[in-house]
Each structure stands twice: as C-alpha cells, then as structure tokens.
Amino acid sequence: MTHSFGEGLMMDTLEESLPIPEAAPSTVAHGVLDTFFTELEGTDGFDAVAKRLRKVVLTDGSFAETAIRQALFDEDAAP
Amino acid sequence: MIRVEEITVHEFRGIRELTLDLKGSNFAVCGPNGTGKSGIVDALEFALTGNISRLSGAGTGGLSVKEHGPHVDSRNKPDQAYVTLKVTIPSLGKQATIHRSVKDAKSPTITPNDADVRDVFDAVALHPEFVLSRRELIRYVLSEPGKRSKEVQALLRLDEIETLRAVLQKISNASSKTSEQLQMPKRDAGIALATALQVTDLNVVNLLAQVNARRAVLSLPEITALTATTSLKDGLASQAGGAAPSRVSKTQAETDLKALAEALGVLADASFVTDCNAAREACEGLAKDPAALEAVSREALLRSALKLFDGGHCPVCDTAWSPEHFKQHVDEKLEHFAEVAARRKVIEGQFLSISQKMDSARAALAAAKKYGPLLEPAVDVTALGTYQERLLGWSNQLGAFLPLSKSIDCLSAAAVAPDLYETLASLTASVAAIPEPTEQEAARDYLLIGQEKLETHRAASLELKRAQDRAAKAAKVLELYGTVTTAALDAIYKEVETAFSDLYREVNRDDESAFTAQLTPSIGKLGFDVDFYGRGHFPPGAYHSEGHQDGMGLCLYLALMGHLQKAGFTFAVLDDVLMSVDSGHRREVCNLLRAQFPDTQFIVTTHDEIWLRHMKTAGLIQPGGSAHFRKWTVDLGPTEWDDKDVWDEIEADVASGKVQAAAGTLRHYLEYFAREICHRLRAKVEFHGDAQHSLGDLLPPALAAVGDAFKQGKKAANSWGNQPVVEAIAAQEAIFAEARKATNVDEWQLNKAVHYNEWASLHKADFEPVVAAFKQLVSGLKCQTCSEVFYITPAFGNKEAFRCRCGIVNVSLLSK
C-alpha cells in the first residue's frame, strides 16, 4: 500500500530535540566535604587549617596521610 | 552524561556482528533466554568501562575479559573483539565515538579526542552503576545493612568521606599517643632539674633564690624573672664557652648521690613495703575470684579496643563502626563491669603511687651512675644500671596492670630493698676524695649544670606542648568532621528516602498510596525499612512480595542515581529487572520512567514480550526503539525478527529440503508478526488467561482487523465525498483480499490439509507456495517507504486513522 491518501497528515517525527541538561555537579562527597571545610573555616583558630585542608583534598585530590597531616599542622609531617 | 546513538558489536561475547540504532532514545532489547540480550549489556558496559562485571566479582574465579570477552571463535583474536559506541554528550553539545577492543581494553580510541570529551568518558568509566541488573537490585533491597551501606556508599561515591575520616582518626590517635609518651621525658627532666638545682620542686621563687645565691658568689647580677629564654649562666665566662665542665663536679655529684640515697631509702622504707604488700593483696584477692579475673580481662580488652580503634573498624573483629557508635557500644559493655572496674581503679591508684617512687629512684640512678667511669679510679656501676632496668620493667608492668600474676610478682620483688649500698658507698667515697671546689667553682658548676638541665627541661616541655597542641587540634578537627558529615549524610539519606518513597508510591498507587520508607544510617550500616500497609516499618523482605521487592529495588536505584547525578542522569541500562513484577505494575513503571525521567535514556532488556508491549503502549519506547531477538546460534550470534533475515532463512531451508525447519520458523515468525498486527490494529483476539496465543488465535483476527480498517476507511472517505480515496482504498483492499486468500488462513478451521500444523509434513514443492503467499501477505501489510507495519491511532478510544510511520499512508477512519 504505497498510495498517499490525501495530502498526507502530519508525519510523525521521531526527531526529538534533546534537552540539554545542566553540567554534572560536583560529587555528593565533595559537597559534604565542602560543607565541612566551610564549617571549619568558621571555627575560631581553624581558618588557616581549613584552607590548607580544602586545597589538599578538593583541589589536589589527595587523601594521603602525609599530605593531610601537613595541612593540619602546617609543619613537618612527622608526628 | 551521555546518550547512546548507535552501538556496533563485533566478535564480542556471543555476538558476531551487530549494529543497533538507538538514536539517543529509550531502547528495548527483547528475546527469550539465551538469545543474546545480555551480550548487548556486556557490550555497553565494556565500551564505557573496559570491564564486564559478569566476568568479575564473587563467584567468577577463572573468568576474565581478556579470555572470555571475545566471541568463542575469536578467543585468540582479541583485537577483533570490539565495541564501538556513537554518543551524544548533552552537557557539551557534542557527538563522540568510543571504540574499545578487548586487546586494548584499557585504552579506548575516543573521537574527537578533546579533553572535555575524555573527561566525560572517564567519569562514566569510573562508575559502572549505570547498569542495574537483578543482582544489584537484590543487594540494595535484601542485603544485610552493613553490606547495603557499602553498596549505597559506593554508588553515591561517599567512600571519600570515609577515607578522610579514617585518615583524620589515625592522625588524631597518633598525636594523642605521642603526647602521652612525651609526659615521662618531661617529668624525668623536671626531676633532674630539681635535683641539680637542689630544690624540692620547680617553684620559680625558690628556684631563683637558689640560683641567685650562686650568682651572687660569682658577682653576677640577679635574675629577677625566669622567662623561656633566661639563662642561669648569663654573664658567666667560661674556658669552655659556657659548656658544662668535663671534670666531675663534686657538688653536683654529692647532690645526685644524696638524691639517690634518699630515693633508695624510700624504696627500703617500711611504708613502701606496706604499700607494695597492700597492693599485692588486693591483686591476689582479685586473682582468686575467677569471675572477677575474667571480668578484669574483658574490661581490659574493651579499654584496649577503645584505645586501638582506628575510627573505622573494630581492632578485634574488623567490623565497620562509626566512632560515636563504637564508643557507645563499648561503653555499654563496660557498664557491666562497673564493680570490677571500681576495684581495678583502686588498685591502679596504689600502683601509681608505687610507680612514681620507682620512677624517682630510676631517674636518680640514671643521674648517679654516669659518675662511675668519670671518677679516679673508676667505680663499677653495673649494679645501678641493672636495678634501674628492673625498676623500669616493674613500672611498665604496673602501668599495664595485666596480667595480674606479673604485677603481683613485681610488687613482691619491689618490696625487697635492693642491695646497692656497696656501689653507693664506693661512689660516695670517690666523690668525697675529690678536692673540695672553691666556692666559686661550686657556684659555677651549679649554674652550668643547672642551665644544662634547664635547657633539657625546656626542650622536653616545648616538645610536649607542641604534641599536646597537635593532639588537641587533630581531635577538634575530627570531632567537627564527625558532626558535620553525620548531619550531611543524614540529610542525603533523608532526600533519597523521600525520593524513593515518592517513586514507589507512584508505581503502587493502587494499593500502597500511603507508603513510606526509612533509610537509617547507623553503626556503619544502612537500615532500610518500609511501611507494610500501615502496620509498621519492616525490612522489605519481611512481608512484601518478590514483585514488590523488585519494584523497591528499581525505585531505590532511581532515587540514588537521581540524587547522585541529578541532571547528569542521562543514561541507564536496566537488565531484565522487574522479573517478578506483575503486568499492571510494570505498566506503571513504564509511566514512571517516562514521566519522571524524561531526559534519561533507558536501555531495557527483557525476555517478556508483554512488557515490551507495555513499553510501546506507554510511549516509553518509540517505534523503531527496540530489537527483538528470536534466536541465537554460536555461528551467527543473535538473530532479530527482521524480515529479510527471516525470509532468507526460510527460503534457504526450503531450498535445501528442510521443510520442517522452514515450517517452524515460518510459524514462529508469523506468530510474532501477527501479535504486532493485532497490537497495532487493535484486533479482537480471544482472551486466554495464560496469555498464550497460537498462530490460529492471532492471524485470523489480525487479518480481520486489516479488513475492518479498509471498510471503515472507505466508509469515512465516502461520507466526506472523497471518491478518489474510496477507489484507492478499494484497490488496496482487493490486493489484500487476494493475498489473504492465497494463504488459506480463512480455511484453517475448515480444511485440515491447509492448516499450519500440516506445514512440516508437506513436500518442498507444496510448501514453497505457502511461503510465497505469506511473504506476499506480510509485505502488503507494511509501508514500502518506511518498512513499518501499519497501525491505527490512537492506541485507545475511537479509531481515527490507519497509517504508517512516515505518513505516506494516512487514511482517516472518522466519518463525517
């Protein structure tokens, strides 16, 4: 059956215009860690510690004990 | 993050060569068991991650992607086993291709090789949870809380939170331990300083009084304040530049020997012996009571566990714990030992008093024995060193408390006064023989030695303070971390709990419209309880059916993925999940996926054709959005219900005389085709409760529906006075009638000889016309332009049009 009947009604188009979602947010864990660093920054005497820890963990992506210790104590990493 | 446009699989798993056009939309892969559906899932997973989870994990020993990824006939040609995906990356507005072979599983080829494109693929590769199979579904719903916690934490990528917490705990523990360890050196340095300065304690006023008395002898100005940098020898000229004298300072030696004599006297005193005996009797009383002794051991174990807890796992059994809950748990156990703990505390107090006297004697011995080799002639001080070590051992044992038997032995030995008087007498005599220093020399020695001891004390104090500051800082950070992350995680689980409950209610609104759930993180676990018809909250497996549990697993997965990726949740593979869910609820699942996740591309595999229909009816799958596998062979891989393939296969079998095989294939294909026609044209089929319909149940009503469509179309065109359309329909109707007659479908009930049950026993020459007739009939029910089977719209309600997908055939069924 190849006849076209009438003018042909509106053709179905399966071409959807795909909506473009927002860029993927940071991970859930990073969100939680960010909250912690912000809280720590607001704690008296821990502003510098918080900034150093934020850099190590969120910027540099390091969870190594040495790096964390250095960030905590801002001196030689040896205990 | 991505949407898959097309997948090409070559010599991979059970697939020889297959390309599926997904168009970035939802797609279903349907087929009986063993037809290759899972091969598609494996291919998607492999292309995006380089791994096939089916070949790894528990119970897959000996399996690997390298060996078992390629098709079995290509197992020695891993370069020939590959998967290529064409994808769209909505966030970047780009299209890309990823090509991965088994040979280079870790190094896919990405085109374009842009950094942002690679980042997206890297992100997907790190998290294969885009595939949900029934085994994961079960893990989320039915596993033990501890395992569920790990699964969910891994899916939500919360492992980093735990990692940092463990590191902070470790640093805090180490800092605290270091701080404790530095207490004794400071105490010893204080004792040595006090002895050297000949004061009973480090009271600054008394100390300065003694120091200034010596300074006055040397005409040095008074020291009025003792600061952190004050030098007791300030202003003192020395041949050695102010360093301590190399000769034995008679005054200092006499002081140290006197201190030693006093310390030894304390240990020999009757009161010390009494203290040791009293402590020993208390220990023996405890040791005689087996229950109390065991309680002491258990209590000690619990205290050790608290001390050794690394913040994440019990040091005894490795069970995962959060710090707060571990302490709570152990404290509750310790409460049972309150009575024996009280007795232990009293004994520990006795031990402390005894240890302190031992420590004083030990420090005095250390100070005195150094003179031995310096004196003329040298004095053998071996006995002093030996006793010093024994005192250290006893002090350490009393500090440890257990085993009680050893503590009892220590107390017995300590009560016996040491015989050191001969060595002490020798030392005393040798020191006495040293010429008396002048007053100035004595004053100078006092200041030099005093300063040396003061510097040692200062260093020890500074190191202790630094360690204490570190310990306090680490403890504070850890405490705050625990508070903040616990609150944040509670909030996350609450959000997921709400989302999950909403999704589940939507699917089960018919009978569980009041459903709620409880996700409860605690003690390193994730509790998961669900409401059961208002009777309370219970684990999902307690009262809910398997079908409901499957639904819960899917809803929990969707809630977690939605929370994790938010707008980035653009792709997921649902691999034959919802097996136990009934058709009504599966329809609701289709509606849910379409309505709640309109921007997510779902690739669904199922063996259930009815669910495939639900997906199509609900609009979850669009026409062309499915692959229906009919069979699988090792030589060909999966075979779709594709017209060309089917007729080629049938005609090849007929040509080679395999009428029986050809007849079987023809029948199965026609059953599949007839179901499609019945669904698309809304045919009236006799109801069977088991939903099993044979060809005889399907094809006649399907053809009747085609005939009805022609009639209704002519009637409608007639009512509108559209004669050309009437004539066109009539012409097609005649062609269809002829094709229908050639198939003898209408004769099946009347003439057994032409019934499809007899096809298998026909000769080749008799069966060939049958094949040709049905091929002609099937061809006539498809649009020659878009190759799609005709359908009636809408799917429910009044029939309005008979049409094809491309619209070139579009017949109104609505009369004027």
Query: Does the beta-carbon distance from B160 to A39 stay under 8 Å?
Result: no
- Per mean pLDDT, which range of B296-300, B342-346, B604-608 is the poorest? B296-300
B334 against B776, higher pLDDT: B776
ipTM score above 0.90? no
> B441-461 pLDDT, tens per residue?
889 989 999 999 999 999 999
CA-to-CA distance for B251 and B259, rounded, in angstroms?
12
Interval B274-300 mean pLDDT: 87
> A27-55 pLDDT, tens per residue?
788 889 999 999 999 999 999 999 999 99
> B68-113 pLDDT, tens per residue?
999 999 888 899 999 999 999 988 999 999 999 999 999 999 999 9
Provide the 3-class DSSP secondary structure of residue B789. strand
The pLDDT value recorded for residue B469 is 95
Query: Does the beta-carbon distance from A18 to B88 stay under 8 Å?
Result: yes
The pLDDT value recorded for residue B240 is 46
Give the residue carrying structure tokens 């891994």: B154
The pLDDT value recorded for residue B277 is 93
The pLDDT value recorded for residue B221 is 92
Q: Is the peptide bond before B185 cis (omega within 30 degrees of 0)?
A: no
- A66 and chain B: CB distance < 8 Å anywhere? no
Give the residue carrying structure tokens 């059961």: B532
Task: Name the average pLDDT for chain B.
Answer: 88
- Which of B599, B806, B809 has the CB atom closest to A19's CB atom? B599
User: pLDDT-derived band of residue A6, with 50, 70 and 90 as boundaries?
Assistant: very low
- Per mean pLDDT, which range of B274-288, B572-586, B591-605, B800-814 is the poorest? B572-586
Inform me whether the pLDDT recorded for B149 exceeds 80: no
Q: List, as ranges, residues 27-56 from A with C-beta within 8 Å of B.
A: 27-33, 35-36, 39-40, 43, 46, 49, 53
Which range, A42-56, B26-40, B245-259, B364-378, is most confident? A42-56
The pLDDT value recorded for residue B302 is 86
Question: Across the beta sheet with B571-575, what order do the strands follow?
Answer: B131-133, B571-575, B601-606, B27-30, B626-633, B637-640
- Which of A32, A49, A64 has the CB atom closest to B161's CB atom? A32
CA-to-CA distance for B613 and B675, rounded, in angstroms?
10
Which whole-number Å values give the CA distances from B563 to A6, B120, B492, B493, B526, in the listed order?
A: 50, 18, 8, 10, 17
CA-to-CA distance for B639 and B649, rounded, in angstroms?
11
User: pLDDT-derived band of residue B761, with 50, 70 and 90 as boundaries?
Assistant: confident
Query: Does the beta-carbon distance from B810 to A22 stay under 8 Å?
Result: no
- For chains A and B, CB pairs below 8 A equal 155
Q: Is the dihedral of CA B357, B358, B363, B365 positive or negative?
A: positive
The pLDDT value recorded for residue A2 is 35
B287 against B386, higher pLDDT: B386
The pLDDT value recorded for residue B535 is 93
User: pLDDT-derived band of residue B755, with 50, 70 and 90 as boundaries?
Assistant: confident
Query: What's the gap in Å between the CA of A12 and the closest CA on chain B?
Result: 6
User: pLDDT-derived band of residue B522, with 50, 70 and 90 as boundaries?
Assistant: low
Which residues from B are below 8 Å from A54, CB to CB?
none
The pLDDT value recorded for residue B63 is 87
User: pLDDT-derived band of residue B155, with 50, 70 and 90 as boundaries?
Assistant: confident
- B425 and chain A: CB distance < 8 Å anywhere? no
Q: What is the dihedral of CA B666, B667, B671, B676, to 10 degrees?
A: 10
Inform me whether the pLDDT recorded for B473 exceeds 80: yes
Interval B142-150 mean pLDDT: 75
Which range, B101-115, B133-147, B338-352, B785-799, is most confident? B101-115
The pLDDT value recorded for residue A18 is 44
List CB contacts of B120: < 8 A, sequence separation 6 or more. B1, B2, B89, B91, B92, B96
Interval B355-373 mean pLDDT: 90
Query: Does the beta-carbon distance from B161 to A29 stay under 8 Å?
Result: yes
- Which of A1, A5, A35 has the CB atom closest to B488's CB atom? A35
- B806 and chain A: CB distance < 8 Å anywhere? yes
Which whole-number Å values give the CA distances from B385 to B253, B365, B367, B426, in the listed order?
A: 17, 7, 11, 15
Interval B356-372 mean pLDDT: 90
Interval B613-632 mean pLDDT: 83
The pLDDT value recorded for residue A36 is 95
Query: Does the beta-carbon distance from B807 to A11 stay under 8 Å?
Result: yes
Inform me whether the pLDDT recorded for B517 exceeds 90: yes
CB distance B654 to B764 below 8 Å: yes
Interval B580-585 mean pLDDT: 81
Query: What's the gap in Å between the CA of B733 and the closest CA on chain A?
Result: 9
Interval B795-803 mean pLDDT: 89
- B355 and chain A: CB distance < 8 Å anywhere? no
The pLDDT value recorded for residue B311 is 66
Interval B484-513 mean pLDDT: 91
Query: Does the beta-carbon distance from B489 to A32 stay under 8 Å?
Result: yes
Residue B324 half-sphere exposure toward CB, CA atoms < 13 A: 11
Top residue of B480, B620, B626, B740 to mutate, by most chain A CBs within 10 Å, is: B480
Query: What's the gap in Å between the CA of A45 and the closest CA on chain B?
Result: 10
CA-to-CA distance for B784 and B422, rounded, in angstroms?
120
Inform me whether the pLDDT recorded for B209 exceeds 90: yes
